[in-house]
Amino acid sequence: MQTSLLIQTTKNKELVDISSDVQAEIDRWGCHDGVLFLFVPHTTAAVTINENADPAVQEDVIYALKKAFPDHPAFRHLEGNSDAHVMTSLTGSSEIIFIEEGRPVLGSWQGIYLAEFDGPRKRRVVLKCLPG
């Protein structure tokens, strides 16, 4: 079972909660128990798991990344989005999540996020469930 989510981002840098989209695909597949692989096939977007109870956390993550990796004239990449490439490399393009009883195994306050670092754009998240 494999599919892709298409997510339209709205900001240059943001975390978009895709937890409900992921759950909808698990439900559609009927994947009761197994392993879920998520992969973002972009060099300036990523996928991550973080707190979903307080939206300020997502803002803090973006703030910290922008502070740690500001756009800088010393960057040599001609497109001007080197900061986005660095953020993506450090955040990661994939996650593996166990599925138990039809639900992703996440902590009480965890959600699944598409991390946009060079938007707004339409982004793709590939999902694959291996039952078992």
Q: What is the CATH number of the domain that holds 90?
A: 2.60.120.460
Mean pLDDT of 14-31: 98
Taking 90 as the threshold, does the pLDDT of residue 48 lie above it? yes
Lookup result for tokens 């999902």? 127
Q: pTM for this structure? A: 0.94
> What whole-number distance in Å separates Cα of residue 60 and Cα of residue 75?
24
Which pLDDT band holds residue 70 (cuts at 50, 70, 90)?
A: confident
Which pLDDT band holds residue 71 (cuts at 50, 70, 90)?
A: confident
Write down the pLDDT at residue 115.
Answer: 99
Residue 29 lies in a domain: no
Report the SS3 class of residue 21: helix
> Which residues have a Cβ under 8 Å from the Cβ of 128 and sit 6 or more positions away?
1, 2, 36, 37, 39
Taking 90 as the threshold, does the pLDDT of residue 75 lie above it? no
Q: Which one is predicted more confidently, 118 or 71?
A: 118
Domain count, the chain: 1
Q: Which one is predicted more confidently, 103 or 85?
A: 103
pLDDT in tens, 107-128: 999 999 999 999 999 999 999 9
CB atoms under 10 Å from CB of 38, counted, come to 22
Boundaries of domain holding 118: 37-131
Write down the pLDDT at residue 36.
Answer: 99
Taking 90 as the threshold, does the pLDDT of residue 78 lie above it? no
Residue 93 lies in a domain: yes
Backbone angles phi, psi at 120, to 5 degrees: -75, 145
> What whole-number distance in Å separates Cα of residue 93 and Cα of residue 53?
23
Residue 31 lies in a domain: no
CB atoms under 10 Å from CB of 51, counted, come to 17
